[in-house]
Structures are given as structure tokens and as C-alpha cells.
Amino acid sequence: MLQVFENLSTLHSFRQSLLQSGLSLGFVPTMGALHQGHLALIERALQENDQVICSIYVNPTQFNNAQDLAKYPRDFENDLAQLQKFSNLHVFLPNDQVMYPAPALLKFDFGYLEQVMEGHFRPGHFNGVAMVVSKLFHLVKPTRAYFGQKDLQQTRIIHRLVQDLAFDLELVICPTIREEDGLAMSSRNRRLSPSERIAAKLIPDTLFSAREVIQVRKNSIEEIKNLVHKHFEEAGLRIEYFEIVDRFTLLPIENLDNVKEVALCIAAYLGEVRLLDNVIFGV
């Protein structure tokens, strides 16, 4: 039976029992509205650990847009129903009072990592991410923590967080799970209208096409970026950014001569819904 921890005392008791038994603990932090991408993280965590905790918490400090926070999909009842099928899985379901008994004053500075792409367009976002992830790591004390590659910049931020604060855990980054038409699975996809959902296919199609062009090296980096922006403009969709960067440093790539792995990163709007995606490949 699925155990749900809503307060810290029950979570601490459970964690202490695992430590005493020498059992490993996997951790999958989520903001709910679970989809197959989340479930794939949980399945992998269960394969690699004795027990797994999935947290469900919509973290207010990582939203720099109050409307986006208000509209973020919440369906805790359905989330818990999806998780009932798993054995050795437990849920941490805190509220704001548990996670933020007082306003957080600590500020994180990740330098260049938070100044580009998501950091540039969503100021304060990664400070909120780092704050809640740090709290969750301290509370859950996982052996391994699992995140999806779709939020590539976030994974680099968390990697640095683990490194700088010496968290005693293994960070596991899992491949993006996609719909049949290629769209990356996201909780925000629920907010798309039927026509927007069809139009959203342009995002993965563009990434995969750009990857092919780069691999044959017939166009310059600047030409490829211009073509991507032109495709979105012709489709009547708003692209916020499209960047060609080093997969590890997230520094922009001007030529491919000294690069091992490339990441194509994109953020675009379908109506009011903002979607992220990326493709990583060797060159």
C-alpha cells in the first residue's frame, strides 16, 4: 500500500528505519500532474534502489509569473491513483507551511549557468529551484536522485548544487520521454488546446531537423539559428530562444571543431503555454 508522508516527523521516521536497515533510497522530485515521463523516472529509481520516495510539491519560489503558478495543473488525487500500482514506492506530499515555515532569505548564485536561456528569461527561477531541491535533499537524504533531461539547464544547476554543497548522493539524469509525435512529455501539455497541441509538433521537428543540418555541416551556426526562427515565424508561433550550446557548460557554440557534445535548446509559446525541449548529440 502506498505510504503518503505529509509531515516531517513521519518522513524522518521512515528514513531512519531505512538507514538502520542499510537500504538504499531513490528519490524522484516532481510538481505533480504526473505523466509517463515522471513514471519512467520512478520505474528506473525502483530498479536501482530498495525503496523510492516521489515528492509532489508545486514550489512557489521558482515561479516568476504569478499567473503561471496559479494555472499550473494540480491533480493530486489522480497523481496518487497512478502511483498505487508501484511497490516499494512512497510519496512525500508537503504543503507550503512544511517547506517554507518562514520566508527563505538565502540566495544562490550560479554565475553564467543561470544567466542564459531560462535564467535570462525567468529571473529568480533557478534560485527557487535550488532552494527547494536543497531542502528536499536534506529532508529525504536519498541515495540517488532522478531528474529528466528535458530540463537540461536545471540538471546542470542541480549538478553544481550537489557538487558545491557536497550532497552525499548520486545524481541520475534520464532521457526525455516523448509522445508518439515527438513532443516532449510535460505537465504543461495539459493546458494546450487541440489546435495548439497539433502545432506543438513543430518544436521537436525543428530540433531534429536542426540536428541533421548540424551533423552534415552544410550551414553555419548563425544560418541554422536564423532558419529556426524563420520556421516559427512562418508558423505564427512565438519562439523565446533557440540556442546551440556545449552540452556540459551551456556556453554558446560558434564552431564545432572543439566540441564533443552539442545541445540544441528551445523555449516557445503555444498560446499562453510555454514549452521547453532540447536535443543532445555528439559531433
Identify which of 124, 155, 135 has the alpha carbon closest to the alpha carbon of residue 41. 155
Q: Work out whether the CA dihedral 98, 275, 169, 61 comes out positive or negative.
A: negative
Residues 6+ apart with CB under 8 A from 224: 210, 213, 214, 244
Angstrom distances, CA of residue 42 to CA of 68, 137, 174, 217, 265:
26, 17, 11, 38, 25
Among residues 12, 38, 159, 231, which one is catalytic?
38
Q: How many CB atoms lie within 10 A of CB 220?
A: 11
Active site residue 229: no
Cα–Cα distance for residue pair 42/86, rounded to 1 Å: 9
Residues 6+ apart with CB under 8 A from 168: none
Q: Rounded to the nearest 5 degrees, what angle is found at the Cα of 43, between the Cα atoms of 40 and 46?
A: 150
Give catalytic residues, as residue numbers: 38
